[in-house]
Structure 1
């Protein structure tokens, strides 16, 4: 018997060590501050492992496959419950043909992302539905989009590829939660991507492939956890919580503030200390999309309190108000209403809205569920807005909700 281990075992042991290291971030300075957040955090990592295996380990840039990024049980970097996201990894030296038959979405976009030599990710090129040359095929909108370094002659639709480790992401927004798409109420687009060059079939799997694939999973976990905690910390620099002062001014989105990292103490980090902890790539690597605007604050909330979000409707393709947990996860939208969009919200006669977020439904016209999170983010997302959506937010006692807002 020998004490030597095989290359596959060594790769797996390195993977296990990497998981332990990433797990330390869950309980680190920007991580969990309660038993609930620790349980949520490690459950989050388990879902990312599964996602990393599908999105990173099995990716083949010569034979790309459009893979669903987020599901009702896999959420990260601020995904929206009303949106289907797919991605496919590309090779900057190859060109591709993307075909689609549009479904029942209210907005579609396709974006090429790539990294620079320092690992900073950015949008390289994109198309949104109004700029895509669709053709009619038996009443359906169909399109072909060429993707590569050079535009083919005569191509109606083209996306440029350049940079390191490029990939595409598609977004399909729907009038309701994507669970309704999964259950057949709305049709998702039929999409396919294939390499335009003749490429050899994928070679048989090797121990070297296993090692590099497991490394990609760890890299994916590192980047994703850093992005979630980093953006959460930055948003947390504007925090709302209950104030008994009747004259208190509601915290406006975007104001500077101080992040409280421990609910059980008065330990605080200054904005400079927060930024020192955050890799500057985390915001850029959080995959911004064309035409999308975000505004939000962090909250601290007790069980007898509610967040009041009020503002005025604006002309746009779509807007939503959504609760995220500390890791920038969308919440369990299979069982709880964690978001409301502009097609669902009940407006007053003057076009204004008042949305309440709390653990339980206090019996109001517009409610989203916090799932009992004591801290997290409330974020408004706009899509092709003609005017800036500028809501205000405050924390009030549930008992103080005015009667006109109740059902």
Structure 2
């Protein structure tokens, strides 16, 4: 066997060995053992392979970066909302990049650079961010944003040598009526084409991918476990929570505050969620499975926001979380799940989060009312 073949085989075998270890997340005592959760866990591990490999290799060359849609209906697992589109580009913070394109119609946008990415790296820290408030857009809808360690005229995001990823979030109340932004990125001064692939490059990417699969699945499951261990069927404001010193947890995106909870129901039960929100630019309530995957990212059946919900005459909101259609308005379909996280986003406002009440009721009683 040639040295090149031997290196390739060794890289693949090491990758498979690492992946086997990642499967331990399925067997943890805290991981639910029902059929649906275990099936989704297996799927999550495979999906995470794709996510890690794209970030490490397919879009991982920082001299020739590309902005790509990182979260899709089949690549989820970080507590996403169905109201957002997520893109990212892998960069080298010591270099200078030009991001440009059309702004699109999403009312809210965040362009953030991080030193490290949760799961892919051992730590992650937000470096700088620009939102729709500060982004200067031309009359024709185009924009240009520079990313560099040194100040630049116009739109600029400060980077550091440790900066490794540009993450872009766009939020809209109804994406069927909203035009997405476009994103093009290039390193200033880079010439030629991306070099041909090498075994060494792929080998490094495989190792990073395998690490990402194990680390990412464990990190997000641990976050869900924290909520699952608390009292179910109630909401807690994030600001009141205290993280453990050694806990790897994501920083909150700019311009949002959160309440979260964990629903737990029987087949004949529903969770009646009620609150009276102030008039704010955006709020949304999402549900996920144990693996922190949005229950209906594409179909949007398992969440509501301040434009899709039906209000009561007094301005209050009643949302019903249930595994079956109760025949009432504002139903959130749990897609067969009897338990899972709930995430409430309260965005672009300094007003206090509303007090959210939650009550377990019988489905039959809802139908009577």
TM-score in same-fold range (> 0.5):
yes
Please tell me whether the aligned partners of residues 27 and 38 of structure 1 are also in contact (alpha carbons under 8 angstroms). Answer: no
Please tell me whether the aligned partners of residues 82 and 300 of structure 2 are also in contact (alpha carbons under 8 angstroms). Answer: no
Structure 1 range deviating more: 327-336 or 165-174 = 327-336
Q: Is 1:396 aligned with 2:367?
A: no
Tell me the distance in 1 between the aligned counterparts of 2:237 and 2:154: 40
* 1:347-380 deviation per Cα after TM superposition (whole angstroms, max 9, x unaligned): 1122110100111110111111111212211111
Name 2:327's counterpart in structure 1. 363
**Equivalences for 1:174-189 in 2 at 5 Å?**
174-176=172-174, 178=175, 180=176, 185-189=177-181
Gaps in structure 1 of 5+ consecutive residues: 242-250, 256-270
CA RMSD of aligned residues (A): 2.5
**Equivalences for 1:67-146 in 2 at 5 Å?**
67-115=68-116, 119-137=122-140, 141-146=141-146
Please tell me whether the aligned partners of residues 323 and 370 of structure 1 are also in contact (alpha carbons under 8 angstroms). Answer: yes
Name 1:260's counterpart in structure 2. none
Tell me the distance in 2 between the aligned counterparts of 1:307 and 1:38: 24
Change (3 A) 1:314 1:55: farther
Gaps in structure 2 of 5+ consecutive residues: none
**Equivalences for 1:311-390 in 2 at 5 Å?**
311-335=275-299, 337-389=301-353, 390=355
Please tell me whether the aligned partners of residues 127 and 163 of structure 2 are also in contact (alpha carbons under 8 angstroms). Answer: no
TM-score by length of 1: 0.82
Tell me the distance in 2 between the aligned counterparts of 1:165 and 1:42: 32
Please tell me whether the aligned partners of residues 314 and 385 of structure 1 are also in contact (alpha carbons under 8 angstroms). Answer: no
- Offset of residue 164 of structure 1: 2.3
Moved over 4 A (4+): none
Please tell me whether the aligned partners of residues 253 and 296 of structure 1 are also in contact (alpha carbons under 8 angstroms). Answer: yes
Structure 1 range deviating more: 22-31 or 64-73 = 22-31
Please tell me whether the aligned partners of residues 239 and 299 of structure 1 are also in contact (alpha carbons under 8 angstroms). Answer: no
- Offset of residue 295 of structure 1: 1.0
Structure 1 range deviating more: 231-240 or 344-353 = 231-240
* Matched residues, number: 361
TM-score by length of 2: 0.91
Change (3 A) 1:275 1:301: farther
Structure 1 range deviating more: 305-314 or 215-224 = 215-224
Structure 1 range deviating more: 84-93 or 20-29 = 20-29
